[in-house]
Amino acid sequence: MRGAQEFAEKTNMPEVWTELGKAQLDQNLLKEAIDSFIKAQNPSMYMMVINIAQKPECYEELVQFLLMAR
């Protein structure tokens, strides 16, 4: 995952950040996924992010994502 993170930082393209965010969600890396979606300015995965955030009660991270999404 580190290589993907470095690639996203190097290219800094919304599409790359979105794909990285999806991969991070698949691995339950919620905070990292939210950071990636915020960098992509892409709220399209909001339902999945909300559902995953409720399980470990990661509400602080969720607030940051929802502010970007609105």
pLDDT digits (tens, 9 = 90+) for 9-23: 999 999 999 999 999
pTM greater than 0.85 (yes/no): no
pLDDT value for 52: 85
Name the token pair of 12: 């800094």
CA atoms within 13 A on the CB side of 40: 23
pLDDT value for 25: 92
pLDDT at 57 over 90: no
SS3 57: coil
Rounded Cα distance between 4 and 20, Å, is 7
pLDDT digits (tens, 9 = 90+) for 21-42: 999 999 989 999 999 999 999 9
Residue 16: C-alpha distances to residues 65, 67, 69 (Å): 17, 21, 18
Q: pLDDT exceeding 90 applies to what percent of the chain?
A: 56
